[in-house]
Structure 1
Amino acid sequence: MTGRETWIAEVEGIETLDTHTHLIGDKLCAQSFWDIAHYFWLNREMQAGGYPANVAELPEKERIEAFLKAYRATRNTLMNWTATHIFKQLYGIELRDERSVYEADEAVRASAQKAGWAQQVADKLNVRAFVVNHPDHAKFVGMRRDAILLPRIDGKLPQWTRAIAASAQPEEAYEEARGSIDELFASYREQGCPGVMTTLPAFEASANRSYSLKAGATEDQILMMLLHAVCEAAERHGLLVQIFVGVERSWCGTAIPVNDPLKIAKLSGLFERYAVPFELVAASELNNLDIVQAAWNFPNVHTGGQWWFNFRASTYRYAMQYRLEALPALKSSLIVSDARCIEWSYGKIALVKRLMAEFLFEQTERGWIDRETALQVAKGWLYESAAQRYSFRE
């Protein structure tokens, strides 16, 4: 192997922690070819390549024909590369024709029946742990360890906000919500959760301002007051706060990326005020730099992986350049597979490791860093940063 190939193989073997998944502990594996073929991100690209939206209603033969046509049309896309890599590396199958699809389906169905398949797939890239956000998903059946649980609270924040806004005694309602948050976070700490996770839609409020319920605070202002309560409780109970930004659902019927240039700035008052570890995960390209700047400015802020529309080779390269220049590796995690089955976690992590290895190799070739530093960075971005933040121990 060349020096470059040797380096890529070394990076592939580095311990890894997947910081955001939708894996379900008793349903970790794909059950059929279509569980892999219809993963949301691949499906989006396939539909752009002519794949019909109602494909599940088609007879099997027509469905396969439609898949192969769209698959060939999207050979240049990133998720096509990932799906191709999954089938080649996990099953030894190249998707060429109808027969290969049937072979792939048979192979996936067979692997789903293997007791150790999920662990075997994780071990291929040395993935030591996975993060989930629902308590009933955390028990990983057939694997050496359960998932790390970061309960999500974004379903609760709007409920508390609306209840306070609609209350005849909003101050009392706010205090009741604060009590609920504190009680909830105490229970999370007792369960051993290292922190909580939330997404944040657009809002017109700032953490460095004070708002009055007596004066008729808006719902956005109430939300900001609740975020202060969240950070107070997180500080009290020793929890980290993982915040996902960059996806909006209010403009149309589907989620879209929004580069909000003030989103992180509006939150910076929280970073400054509370002794809480914050992990920022961005889904829009311009916010990649914003979260790096926040992590540079505030010792308790960390950058997380690439989410949603940021899962592109181009945005990864920009994000890695920003982080390499400005942050110690222990301030930055890079792996967010967002996967719903173990096979897609494998495929997306394989892709990120390849991009990271290429990027760091190029930096050594240009003389900006040496190989020892490149290895230190890779270990921090893939595992050590997240393991430290989540207090994960083998």
Structure 2
Amino acid sequence: MKAISVVREALDDVKIIDPHCHLRPEKPSADNLADILLYHHLWIELISSGMDQFEVTKSGFPHELVDPEIPPLERVKRAVQYLPCIRNTTVGLFFRWIMKDLFNMEDALGERNIEKIFHNVGERCSDPLWEDKVLRNYCGIEYNITVNTDTVSSSKRMLQGKEGVPVNIVREYIVSGKENPMEVLGSMEKDFGKEIKHVSDYLDYLQLFSKYFLEGKYKFAGIWILPCITDEMSEERYIDSIIKKVKNGKQLSLVEIGSFCYFGTVSFLKELRKSKTRTIQILTGAYVLPPHRSITRWNRSFVESIGKIAYEFEDFHFSISSASDIYTHDLGILAKHIPNVSIAGYWWHTLYPFYIKKSLETRLDMVPMNKIIGFFSDTYHIEWCYPKLKMVKSILKDILIERINRGWYDTKLACVIINKLFYENPRKIYNIETM
């Protein structure tokens, strides 16, 4: 059998574990076409192309964050005129793959067929068998780990992780438009039920938050690490002064913000040792400008700081993903040299063919194959798992075939890599007991 056939067959047959998504445990599929069409990756491109910020959501935020308060069909009708502007983008291609491959709809969505397509998609999504058909048949996904913890799934294949560990004094990811330190500290106090005046109060809050993990139901603790993280001012006396500055409405320096993140992360990990959770999922490299416009972010102190934390907490495993391509080489070297650091997927602004290829080739060049996770969906509805996975598989196929043709790999090694990247590595890193 030719190498290309062997690799293609291995990719078709491999089982997938998706270690980070936002799927609703009670109903992972979309409710209607608006859920699919106005997924925030596509929604922001429509806005960038000319659609008004408030055209399809009254709040101006994506529907993943706030109820749009506009009927789904009306939202689709308002958005469809902007679709031709994004036919060139990867996200535009993903949407066409969803419509063609999952819903068998060859015709482009337009004003003349909106209602028919809207009805057909809604009917398909309401089918009780739809979830299994998309996840198992189309994607081959055996397990998802969702960070949506509002409800619990009846399926043993829908696992949960918990993100949002409160280690930052500024908000990287804007939900309500509140991002300054005083407002962030106020949110912590609301969650804590007490005022946070001193570093001792903050430590008590982290101890309380860590109790979520005592039951052992979460596969990981998810932390948004600021790129500016630093241990420069991470002693308790400095954190105490930072909290006082926030209380007095004074502006924090970048070093103070990064030091608070370092102190919070280290202090939380010390508390987490009381639980059985040992996998830490780190996301970095993105910043959301108001009203909701995400950009990439990088700082030279990130890699050094994570290296120090990984050394101090060798009993934990750190799985890292970045939205900034600038970190591609940095994180590759980090995972190459540090035993308890691995690297995963292509998050947010790196989920494009050029950057996926660059990421995969960099990692295959330097990172031991048992420390690379080849895919996670980060999706809110199962329909979007499909095109993302299809793209990653297509790119990995081309990379492996090229390396076989060069004599760098043989087909046996290529098949081992495929199984590790998509299944074995996430299974072991996230301690998943498969059925």
Name the TM-score, length of structure 1 as normaliser. Answer: 0.86
Q: 2:199–2:236: 8 Å Cα contact kept in structure 1?
A: no
Q: Deviations over 1:180-214 (max 9, x none)?
A: 255x1xx4242332320011234352289645348
Q: How does 1:28-47 map to 2 (within 5 A)?
A: 28-47=28-47
- Which residue in 2 is equivalent to 1:172? 200
C-alpha change, 1:16 and 1:215, in structure 2 (3 Å) is closer
Q: Deviations over 1:202-252 (max 9, x none)?
A: 435228964534883545433322211222233443421111000123687
Q: 1:261 aligns with which of 268, 278, 300?
A: 300
- Give the unaligned 5+ runs of structure 1: none
Q: 1:93–1:100: 8 Å Cα contact kept in structure 2?
A: no
Q: 1:104 aligns with which of 100, 117, 120?
A: 117
In 1: Cα distance, 2:150 partner to 2:166 partner: 16
- Which residue in 1 is equivalent to 2:369? 329
C-alpha change, 1:214 and 1:11, in structure 2 (3 Å) is closer
The answer as to 2:330 corresponding to 1:290 is yes
C-alpha change, 1:366 and 1:52, in structure 2 (3 Å) is farther
C-alpha change, 1:208 and 1:318, in structure 2 (3 Å) is farther
In 1: Cα distance, 2:72 partner to 2:185 partner: 47
C-alpha change, 1:155 and 1:250, in structure 2 (3 Å) is farther
In 2: Cα distance, 1:74 partner to 1:322 partner: 29
Q: How does 1:140-159 map to 2 (within 5 A)?
A: 144-155=155-166, 158=169
C-alpha change, 1:181 and 1:109, in structure 2 (3 Å) is closer
In 2: Cα distance, 1:328 partner to 1:213 partner: 39
In 1: Cα distance, 2:223 partner to 2:380 partner: 19
In 2: Cα distance, 1:21 partner to 1:50 partner: 29
In 2: Cα distance, 1:385 partner to 1:60 partner: 41
In 1: Cα distance, 2:394 partner to 2:349 partner: 19
Cα drift, residue 303 of structure 1: 0.5
- Which residue in 1 is equivalent to 2:213? 188
- Which residue in 1 is equivalent to 2:354? 314
3-state SS of the aligned residue for 1:135?
coil
The AA in structure 1 aligned to 2:163 is R
In 2: Cα distance, 1:62 partner to 1:160 partner: 36
Q: How does 1:65-144 map to 2 (within 5 A)?
A: 67=80, 69-96=81-108, 97-123=110-136, 124-139=138-153, 144=155
Q: 1:154–1:197: 8 Å Cα contact kept in structure 2?
A: yes
Q: Single out whichever of 107-116 and 318-327 deviates more from structure 2.
A: 107-116
Cα drift, residue 88 of structure 1: 1.2
The AA in structure 2 aligned to 1:77 is T
Q: 1:154–1:200: 8 Å Cα contact kept in structure 2?
A: no
Cα drift, residue 32 of structure 1: 1.8
Cα drift, residue 55 of structure 1: 4.1
The answer as to 2:280 corresponding to 1:241 is yes
The answer as to 2:14 corresponding to 1:14 is yes
Q: 1:33–1:101: 8 Å Cα contact kept in structure 2?
A: no
The AA in structure 1 aligned to 2:361 is Q
Cα drift, residue 382 of structure 1: 1.1
Q: 1:52–1:66: 8 Å Cα contact kept in structure 2?
A: no
Cα drift, residue 333 of structure 1: 0.9
In 1: Cα distance, 2:292 partner to 2:82 partner: 24
3-state SS of the aligned residue for 1:136?
coil
Q: Deviations over 1:94-139 (max 9, x none)?
A: 2334455444322211112211211110012210111112322441
Q: 1:283–1:306: 8 Å Cα contact kept in structure 2?
A: yes
The answer as to 2:387 corresponding to 1:347 is yes
3-state SS of the aligned residue for 1:195?
strand
The AA in structure 2 aligned to 1:179 is Q
The AA in structure 1 aligned to 2:217 is G
Cα drift, residue 13 of structure 1: 2.7
The AA in structure 2 aligned to 1:70 is Y
Q: If each structure's helix is expressed as a fraction of its own residues, which one has the higher value?
A: 1
The AA in structure 1 aligned to 2:123 is A
- Which residue in 2 is equivalent to 1:224? 262
In 2: Cα distance, 1:175 partner to 1:52 partner: 43
C-alpha change, 1:283 and 1:211, in structure 2 (3 Å) is same
C-alpha change, 1:326 and 1:299, in structure 2 (3 Å) is same
Q: 2:34–2:75: 8 Å Cα contact kept in structure 1?
A: no
Q: How does 1:208-219 map to 2 (within 5 A)?
A: 210=235, 212-213=237-238, 216=241, 218=256
- Give the unaligned 5+ runs of structure 2: 57-69, 170-183, 243-255
3-state SS of the aligned residue for 1:203?
coil
How many pairs align? 385
3-state SS of the aligned residue for 1:19?
strand
